Amino acid sequence: MRLRPIRSTARLPTLWLQHPELAPPRRRANAAFVAGATLAGLHTRFPVHPECNARTKRGTPCKAPKVAGANRCRHHGGGRTLLRRARQTLATTRSRAVMAKCLWYLEKAHRNRIRRHLKAGERQLARREAEAQRAIAFVSQALREGWATTDLVARLYRAGDAVRPYRPQEVTCAAGAFLHSMSGGEPLLLRFAAFASELRVDENERYKAAAIIGLRLPEERDDPRNANEQVAYALASRSLLRRAGRVGR
């Protein structure tokens, strides 16, 4: 039932204002009417529903109604309950109107999810571009001061382009990380580790980038035996040690 809109108070005639004894008696609202008006929501925004009360960006409690079956509104976590209910209703109902409503709500949730991912990607890209700008400024400062040569910076950029050809921001950040480690007096291997961590390279790409920069990485000797052979060798060695201990006694 929709309530009638509240109209502004009518202006009283001037005669009634000048002579109140001539005015008719005013009607007073009884307690039942006042309670009904309060319950119907004439003085609040969302009256008949419990409020969400989640903290908003302004720091004020949220006044939106809670979702039935949840403790929050659809903006602060109650939307999951609505999605679950829409899926359940879609699996049980036969009404085309209800099915269309459920499908519309699920599609809207999917669009919102994609929009959130896109916004997160845009924020990450903007953050990475800001880091790249700071790295460019640091590289320029190093070249002006003279403690980094042009040949070294060119090798760094060439190595980054070789392993990450379509990510100029990451290449710039990697070069900045290498020079930052160099300014801190760290050894060459740690400088290259900072360079490789910015690019997120694997073993083959590490060796490729190191060769372009002119750095020779220590070769890691891998055991050719598999895990079962290693366990058997360890057990045999342990038994040999035990026997040697017994013989020594």
Walk along the chain (249 residues) and give the pLDDT tens digit of each residue.
Answer: 455 555 555 677 888 888 888 877 766 656 655 555 554 444 444 445 688 888 888 889 988 888 877 788 888 878 788 888 888 888 888 888 889 888 988 898 889 889 989 999 999 999 999 999 999 999 999 999 999 999 999 999 999 999 998 889 999 999 999 999 999 888 888 999 999 999 999 888 999 999 999 888 876 555 555 666 666 766 666 666 666 555 444
**Is position 86 within any domain?**
no
What is the C-alpha separation between 98 and 90, in angstroms, rounded? 8
**Is position 141 within any domain?**
yes
User: What's the pTM value of the predicted model, to 2 decimals?
Assistant: 0.53
Q: What are phi and psi of 51, to 5 degrees?
A: -80, 155
Angle between helices 188-199 and 150-163 (to 10 degrees): 40
**Is position 189 within any domain?**
yes
What is the C-alpha separation between 27 and 20, in angstroms, rounded? 15
Query: Residue 222: what pLDDT?
Result: 54
Query: Residue 40: what pLDDT?
Result: 46
What is the C-alpha separation between 132 and 209, in angstroms, rounded? 20
Helix (H, G, I), strand (E, B) or coil at 187: coil
**Is position 181 within any domain?**
yes
What is the C-alpha separation between 181 and 193, in angstroms, rounded? 10
**Is position 159 within any domain?**
yes
Query: Residue 221: what pLDDT?
Result: 52
**Helical residues (DSSP H) of 96-226, grouped into ranges:** 96-145, 150-163, 168-183, 188-199, 203-213
The closest alpha carbon to 179, from 148, 137, 222, belongs to 148
**Is position 239 within any domain?**
no
Query: Residue 152: what pLDDT?
Result: 92
What is the C-alpha separation between 227 and 225, in angstroms, rounded? 7
212 CB neighbour count, 10 Å cutoff: 17
**Is position 56 within any domain?**
no
What is the number of structural domains in the chain? 1
**Is position 133 within any domain?**
yes
What is the C-alpha separation between 202 and 199, in angstroms, rounded? 9
Report which secondary-structure segment, H or E, holds 238.
helix 227-248
Query: Residue 42: what pLDDT?
Result: 47
- Domain with 139, as residue range(s), is 125-213
